[in-house]
Amino acid sequence: MACTQKALLLDKKFGTFDVGEIDVYKPGPGKLLIKVQSAGLNPVDWKIQQYGIFMQEYPAVVGTDIAGDVERSARELPTSRKAIGFRQSHFVNKFGAFQQCAIGLASTASKIPANVSYDGAATIPVALNAAYVGFYNAPPHGMGFAPPITPEARGKYAGMPIVILGGASSVGQITIQLAKLSGFSPVITIASLEHTDFLKSLGATHVVDRNLSTSETVFDSISLKETQEMAFELLAPGGVLLAVVLPPLVPVDSADGKLGDYGGAAQQAAGERCFGMIIWKFSSRLVPSSRIGLKFCLMGSLEFRMDWFAWQVSRLKLVARPQETA
């Protein structure tokens, strides 16, 4: 294969994105070289540019959702091209989604189910990981509920109410679907009312845009300061609040005794990596059987505007196709 490839490069901290040429990587032990067919866009991508966070090297290759084919591995594979879905584990260029070939960890790779396209698979990894870890990992990095990967665990939490902030976001949509699988009821989400019918089709029982009564469980899929403050107001004494996208931004002493466990940015915690491997062990079973997934809109090649993505997208997940980049 070619020695160079196209990539969407962030030229410097707080800089601009542009398509350029970089070398193709060689996979080391436990790694895979993936030909990226589809790459999902996430809010963290524009936040890296706007806030100058996470990336350690520039020009930087961002992107955290990958679906594609295994081109090469450190050891010979049973088949030469193995379709996978992949979640980036490090903010290092070789793992970035917005390039034509990326390095993946074999331990967090999963076969794409036969009834799921590359584009559909690229919408799932980060959102599923954030929601799944938040619900089912042990405290303080998650709520510790039993995951619905076995028949006896599905519907286990019938009658237990849950409030999900930001239900129309990618993480929020997956959270609603997992809450339904686990049996939570009522499933209350705070979102724009224009999304009411859609969110109810995913499993929400109530969609509201105003204050409501307290709940023992609040899942904040947005995790901005204002949503965390709202979550504290909704939380019953001794209840559990989980913010999964950004770290805690509200002082613990402002919780007025309502705080049970507070797992901030669960999917980024170092202790989540082993749990993340468990998720992908069961992902091909979970996704097709429960129809977990997101609606998406294609951006085509890597030549898209990140500033438009940052402020103009609601409900849909955007997907780029790096192989179409000229």
| Interval 197-211 mean pLDDT | 87
Q: How confident is the model at residue 198 (pLDDT cuts 50, 70, 90)?
A: very high
Q: What is the pLDDT of residue 127?
A: 84
- By percentage, how much of the chain surpasses pLDDT 70? 69
Residue 57 DSSP symbol: S
CB atoms within 10 A of CB 227: 20
Q: How confident is the model at residue 148 (pLDDT cuts 50, 70, 90)?
A: confident
More confident residue, 312 or 155: 155
Is residue 273 helix, strand or coil? helix
Helix (H) or strand (E) holding 17: strand 17-23
* 285-311 pLDDT per residue, tens: 566 555 566 777 777 788 776 765 655
247 pLDDT above the threshold of 90: no
Cα-based angle 259, 168, 17 (whole degrees, multiple of 5): 100
| Interval 315-325 mean pLDDT | 89
* 106-116 pLDDT per residue, tens: 877 888 877 78
Q: Does residue 95 come out as left (phi exceeding 0), alpha (psi in the -120 to 50 range) or beta? A: alpha
Q: What is the pLDDT of residue 263?
A: 43
Domains defined for the chain, CATH in brackets = 4-123+295-324 (3.90.180.10), 127-268 (3.40.50.720)
Pairing of strands 101-105, 31-40: antiparallel
Q: Give the residue from 101, 118, 79, 113 showing the smallest Cα distance to 2.
A: 101
| Interval 173-201 mean pLDDT | 93
Q: What is the pLDDT of residue 37?
A: 94
What token pair was written down for 296? Answer: 């998406």
d(CA 43, CA 27): 28
Q: What is the dihedral of CA 211, 214, 219, 225, to 10 degrees?
A: 50
Q: What is the mean pLDDT of the chain?
A: 78
Q: What is the pLDDT of residue 239?
A: 67
More confident residue, 9 or 141: 9
Cα-based angle 129, 132, 133 (whole degrees, multiple of 5): 80
Distance of CA 220 to the CA centre of its chain: 13
